[in-house]
Amino acid sequence: ILNVEQSPQSLHVQEGDSTNFTCSFPSSNFYALHWYRWETAKSPEALFVMTLNGDEKKKGRISATLNTKEGYSYLYIKGSQPEDSATYLCAFTGNYGQNFVFGPGTRLSVLP
Amino acid sequence: DAEITQSPRHKITETGRQVTLACHQTWNHNNMFWYRQDLGHGLRLIHYSYGVHDTNKGEVSDGYSVSRSNTEDLPLTLESAASSQTSVYFCASSESTVGTDTQYFGPGTRLTVL
């Protein structure tokens, strides 16, 4: 069974702070890494799909980087806002098809 | 707009009862997935289907079954509910079997087994 880890488990920041967290995954048989944003009582919502080593994706104040050789991805949020409060999930797919292996998530709370 | 729905949204049942959770998608996606979400584990795959009449076991399939008789629906059945199956269940769908394809999630069903 593949192991995908995320750190930290939870994070509290003040409004306006920038923050980042990590997703670690197996570096062998890598195909893609997905990031999802999951607000309480809602469905997980796709943020990014990353495939290439060195890839960087950006959506507004949120960006992500990918290192497939060492098996990690960083998610950055610049100038956190209370509406950024959510759980951020990463999901790994390997060379075996569409099945995702999710990490346990990082729960972000942005305090006004 | 295309969507994926789950019903019921909340369910309380007793140990030993059979329970079926519904998942319906109007994306016309070939692939459908069932996950359970537990603290500290994130989302874990229960069963998945790559098309009509296709079903496969995921990481935590014991005690669960699915059937796919059409493109739109993948009901999840708990044959004999156990307290360990108390969880939040999410259904998802995707268009293709390519690993870059996004999975779209339903709103979840919170199941409590007493």
Chosen from A36, A39, A43 to mutate, greatest number of chain B CBs within 10 A: A43
Chain-chain contact of B102 with A49 (C-beta, under 8 angstroms): yes
Cα-based distances in Å from B4 to A86, B22, B27, B103: 21, 10, 8, 11
Q: Is the peptide bond before A8 cis (omega within 30 degrees of 0)?
A: yes
Q: What is the pLDDT of residues A28-74, one digit of tens each?
A: 889 999 999 999 888 999 999 999 989 999 999 999 999 999 999 99
- CA–CA min distance A63, chain B (Å): 18
- Is residue A50 a contact partner of residue A32, using CB atoms and an 8 Å limit? yes
How many other CB atoms are found less than 10 A from the CB of residue A55? 16
Chain-chain contact of B42 with A97 (C-beta, under 8 angstroms): no
Is a pLDDT exceeding 80 seen at residue A98?
no
- Measured between beta carbons, the chain B residues lying within 8 angstroms of A4 are 42
pLDDT at A1: 65
Chain-chain contact of A1 with B98 (C-beta, under 8 angstroms): no
Q: In this complex, is the C-beta atom of B94 within 8 Å of any C-beta atom belonging to chain A? A: yes
Is a pLDDT exceeding 90 seen at residue B42?
no
Q: What is the pLDDT of residues B51-110, one digit of tens each?
A: 999 999 999 999 999 999 999 999 999 999 999 999 999 999 999 878 888 999 999 999
> For A93, which of B31, B43, B99 is closest by C-beta distance?
B99
Helix (H) or strand (E) holding A19, with range, is strand A19-24
